[in-house]
Structure 1
Amino acid sequence: MENTSTSDILKSLEELYLNGNYDEAMGLLIKNKSLFSNSDFHYNLGTILVKNNDLGAGRYNFEMALKESPFNIKARNNLDFLMKKLPLNDLSTSEVTSDKVINFSMKMGTDLVLSFSLILVLLLAILLRMGKITKKRIFALLVVLSLMPSGAHYFIKSKYKVAIALQNQKILEGPSGVYGMIGELAAGAKIILGEENKKWVMVEYPKQYAGWVKKDLLGNL
């Protein structure tokens, strides 16, 4: 019965999507969110949003789909296509090495990074037992190096808050409409957040977006 229900919903979504009824399709998708995995839900929602020209929210949902499942190829392809329509200079396009490291780490799931480190440790243990590694000091050093990606990933995840701008909005000098405008945050930009003040949050990186913006117009990753 559940499979029939899911099939009917997918058919209805496809018909609404192909007929250009994007608002109705979005409503139906959100109403039946429980029928989809988190990754597929965000992928489908992002696709509808982009077709409805809501590019910032579309990017946020593709990023969320990939955060839930890094191997969601459909979400990856749609995000790559969308990025060509969003000529942004943000965290994901920065040539600064530290920005690249932060962006890469944020895209990787914690379980995936931990599994990678554990596999490396297991391989080292096998090599030790086989006599390929003869010195325990070298083995201990290699184990530490194998666990470093997980440690770095955890540090970056805990230190930095990353968000996507859902809409264009003003960047202000301070956390209130009283302060003057010093720039504009482009919809779809990926940014690193800092200090918070009620409804406002400071953008720390990239530097061209530094200033205070409204939290409710951001999607946290």
Structure 2
Amino acid sequence: MCDESRSHGVGPGRPGNSLSVTIEQTALSAEQVQFRWRWSDSDYADYMVAYVNGQEYRVFNYGETYGFGAIKTLRADTSYDITLHFYKNNVNIAQGELHIVTPHDDTIAPNVNAMLGNHTSTTADFEVWSDEPGTIYYIFVRDADFNVMPNKSLIMAGNDPRIVRSGQLNVTADQRKQVLLDGFTITEPGYWTLYLVSEDSAGNISSIQGAGFSL
């Protein structure tokens, strides 16, 4: 992703003037870019015209020493050259540019898996992995302590008093990691489960998966 912004000095119509404007990108998504500008002194333009890849986008009627704007309805995975022309008394006094590449529009949730390894009444180990890079959240519980299966929010928070162990792991795609659980003692028969979800960098969350054993 390109995250470049730069300021330009005086534009046509104001030769020799030291007035300048700084353009800064503040946010970028697959559909829009947000930016702000600030003048070098108390003087400022009457309005600004934004151009996207050479085509006029809109006029921003702001008369301030600084301001905020956004270019919307962009496409994912696309390069854009955005030029901002500032006018005072209908004369172009300065301009700035933003060169951006919108990110991939990821709306697909990852797939997460778990496999039970060795287990006793005091230890258990599992192997977990996801098909996308991100974070795996897990909890280890006795199923009898829950009337219904734990939901995603509970798994990701990991702070319910009925949870025996909880944690999270940063993973790359298809990277298998070990979850080693100890420091507990199973004194009652029942079924014990590791529940987990995975969240990718775009915030998509997998369905809940689990692996467990009975003693």
TM-score category of the 2 structures, normalised to the smaller one = under 0.3
TM-score, normalising length from structure 1? 0.19
Larger radius of gyration: 2
- Relative to its length, the structure with more helix (as a share) is 1
